[in-house]
Amino acid sequence: MITTTPSVAVMKLSKAEYIELCDRFRDKAQQAHQDMRVWMNRCLAAEEQLAALKAAS
């Protein structure tokens, strides 16, 4: 069974609740961005190592 979350537009939240919701979404987005950067850096390091190995052979 799939449950869907109601749209924020129909939730009728107070200003403070909207601010809290925005803060929560911003924090999640920033965390996801940091996680992505970790993997991107790992990928770049692996590509550098691969290029060095190809050059050495």
Q: What is the pLDDT of residues 7-35, one digit of tens each?
A: 877 888 899 999 999 999 999 999 999 99
Fill in the amino acid letter for 31. Q
Rounded to two decimals, the pTM is 0.63
Q: What are phi and psi of 7, to 5 degrees?
A: -65, 145
Distance CA 11, CA 5 (A): 10
Q: Using CA atoms, how far apart are residues 24 and 7, in angstroms rounded to an integer?
A: 16
CB 42 within 8 A of CB 35: no
Residues 5 and 18: beta-carbon distance below 8 Å: no
Q: What is the model's pLDDT at position 1? A: 63
